[in-house]
Amino acid sequence: MIPKIIIHGGAGKRPRNKTRIEKVRKTIKEVLERSRPVLEERSALEAVVHAVSLLEDNPLFNAGTGSVLQADGKARLTASLMDGSTSKFSAVINVQNVKNPIRIAHLLQRERYCVLAGREALTFARAKGFRYFNPVTAERLRDWKRSQGMCGTVGAVAIDARGNIAAGTSTGGVGNATPGRASDVASTCGNYADGRVGISCTGAGESIVNLALAARIATRVIDGMKLQRAVEKSLKELERAGDKAGIVAVTKKGELFYFYNTEFMSYGFLEGDKLFTGK
């Protein structure tokens, strides 16, 4: 199997600022390039964690540094990880003052109780050596009660040389949301992987949860439906519910797939020597 990875930086309205779009594309390309050695020399799981961490570190996105603020002016971060080789899901939900929530989710892969939230999640992280970090940027604070021009959940799905699949997703949630609001990222509705397919979602979180979008797509693939058909059918059902989303996915055959019914989604993939970033 040729190792492959596909990543996204959120889906929504097309930003008017073309310079910002180009910065996002450049970042997507850099993240893919920096993730290549991890994917080729280690594993799909570690490549996903590495790629999502890099995206979390870039304030262009709504994950980690640069996350949006909830109604009380605080950033609460959520990230999840699923290892397709074990079908184990781990997540950290609404944790504050950490740099890379995806890395906490990675540590939770080794724990019996692998989904933690709020203060207790932070206590776990501090005990594991995660130091205080303020993810709130001046721009997010300034734009707290205004719509964001370019701001999205991030995610990655990869398959390694052994055919193992992993998926990871990270978000700051919805700006000005009710404090404590949990997103689809906190469940297999938004982030899913098993031995046959891996999926990372972005978009209207509540509707993604209502339709169990990632798990729904995966179930259809497992039942024999082609990935493209499964995604298109599921997103049409989401549209009928009045919302839109985007996904990136990988199958056990090494097929890479992206699809969105929003105006715009930032994404890119690495497949052998081929590196592509979305328009």
> Catalytic amino acids?
153
**Residue-wise DSSP of 154-193:** EEEEEE-TT--EEEEEEE---TTPPTT---GGGSTTTEEE
Q: Residue 79: beta bridge partners? A: 92, 170
Helices and strands: H and E segment counts in the chain: 8, 12
236: alpha, beta or left, given left = phi > 0 and alpha = psi -120 to 50?
A: alpha
Q: Using the Cα atoms of residue 11, residue 107, residue 110 and residue 35 in order, give the sign of their dihedral.
A: positive
Bridge partner list, 7: 156, 268
List the alpha helices (DSSP H) in 43-99. 44-56
Angle at 97 between CA 91 and CA 103, to 5 degrees: 35
Query: In sequence order, which residues have a C-beta less than 8 Å from that of residue 224 and are 6 or more positions away?
Result: none
CA distance 217 to 196: 12
Q: Are the beta carbons of 10 and 265 closer than 8 angstroms?
A: yes
